[in-house]
């Protein structure tokens, strides 16, 4: 197998009979993981494959580039070897392939999100076993999704996010020590009763999860009614909770969110990704984009980072070109 990363100008090689993880192979490991796993399940073997990988998803911003490369690789193999697999099944297999290859748990939601159910549709994903997904139609064509990269230097978020997960588990164990409940089964009133019995920061983490679960369903309802105003308010509240309760935002991201909402035609903005930097996602009218870009000059003067803008489309998920 010969690999070429068009964006990086890098080349790698591997043999189909010995597809092991190699740190130096970096991006090529994704295709290797898919070939190694799918070839065992469907019993196929290629004599030789030339693979070119390229794309426009910026890395390191929590935008799902790893899942995208793996899904693209699995989709190419499905077509090349004539595999009869539906998109949802392929997404699950692609996630398992990556998990087995790396010998660690890999979240499935980015993979399921890639198996979109139609043009301008979002996916509502329920990970309570077994994972389920349903389509939610996005707003009318006048609304665009724009991503803004804060360019805040990347830092490891693993320890901070693990601490928040641990806080939520401890809080849940305190409330339901002998129950199989999760935080989605808990009501805000239950958390109010914990005031003074647990660290306030721990309780705030749980408040975010409980309220965010409700917001997801409220957002689905707003989109079903094509109620743009309600949808916008829900996403703005979501960012406020990520900032105040879950505490994974940062001053630069908060500034971008606040200033974006001052532009006429911007419906809502919210941080995305693992937090502590990264991107914000804004829903805005096409006519608002140029005015919004002007605001970013002030951002650079204040923080010293030149923000990057990515205009995105809401398309039909992974497919052959």
25, 43, 88, 110: the catalytic one is: 110
Rounded Cα–Cα distance for residues 294 and 46 (Å): 52
Rounded Cα–Cα distance for residues 293 and 109 (Å): 31
Q: Which residue is listed with tokens 């009869």?
A: 84
Q: Which CATH superfamily is domain 143-312 in?
A: GHMP kinase, C-terminal domain (3.30.70.890)
Residue 230's pLDDT is 98
Instruction: Give catalytic status of residue 43 as yes or no.
Output: no
CB 155 within 8 A of CB 276: yes
Which CATH number describes the domain made up of 2-115?
A: 3.30.230.10
Rounded Cα–Cα distance for residues 93 and 37 (Å): 8
Residue 117's pLDDT is 66
Q: Where exactly are the structural domains of the chain? A: 2-115, 143-312
What residues does 146 pair with on adjacent strands? Answer: 282, 311
CB 30 within 8 A of CB 38: no
Regions of the chain with pLDDT less than 70 = 117, 178
* Topology alike, domains 2-115 and 143-312: no
Q: Where are the alpha helices (DSSP H) in 140-288?
A: 158-175, 188-192, 200-224, 228-244, 251-260
Residue 192's pLDDT is 85
The rounded radius of gyration (Å) of the Cα atoms in the chain is: 21
Sign of the CA dihedral 16, 18, 24, 26?
positive
Residue 148's pLDDT is 98
């Amino acid at each position: 197998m010969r690999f070429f990363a068009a964006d990086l100008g890098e080349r790698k090689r591997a043999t189909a009979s010995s597809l092991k993880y190699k740190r130096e192979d970096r991006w090529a490991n994704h295709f290797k993981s898919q070939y190694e796993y799918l070839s065992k399940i469907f019993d196929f073997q290629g004599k030789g494959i030339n693979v070119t990988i390229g794309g426009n998803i910026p890395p390191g911003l929590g935008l799902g580039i790893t899942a995208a490369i793996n899904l693209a690789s699995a989709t190419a193999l499905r077509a090349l070897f004539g595999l009869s697999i539906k998109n949802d099944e392929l997404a699950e297999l692609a996630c398992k392939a990556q998990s087995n290859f790396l010998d660690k748990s890999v979240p499935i939601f980015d993979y399921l999100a890639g198996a979109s159910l139609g043009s301008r549709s979002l996916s509502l994903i329920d990970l309570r076993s077994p994972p389920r997904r349903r389509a939610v139609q996005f707003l009318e064509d006048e609304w665009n999704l724009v991503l803004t990269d804060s360019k805040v230097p990347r830092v490891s978020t693993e320890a901070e996010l693990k601490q928040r997960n641990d806080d939520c588990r401890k809080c849940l164990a305190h409330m339901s020590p002998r129950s199989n409940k999760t935080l989605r089964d808990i009501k805000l009133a239950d958390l109010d009763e914990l005031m003074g019995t647990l660290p306030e920061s721990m309780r705030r983490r749980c408040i975010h999860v409980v309220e965010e679960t409700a917001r997801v369903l409220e957002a689905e309802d707003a989109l079903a009614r094509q109620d743009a105003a309600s949808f916008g308010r829900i996403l703005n509240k979501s960012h406020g909770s990520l900032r105040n309760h879950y505490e994974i935002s940062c001053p630069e991201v908060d500034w971008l969110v606040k200033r974006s909402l001052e532009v006429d035609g911007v419906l809502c903005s919210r941080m995305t990704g693992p937090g502590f930097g990264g991107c914000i996602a804004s829903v805005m009218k096409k006519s608002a984009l140029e005015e919004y870009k002007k605001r970013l000059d002030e951002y650079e003067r204040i923080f010293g980072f030149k923000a990057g803008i990515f205009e995105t489309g809401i398309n039909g998920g992974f497919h052959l070109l």
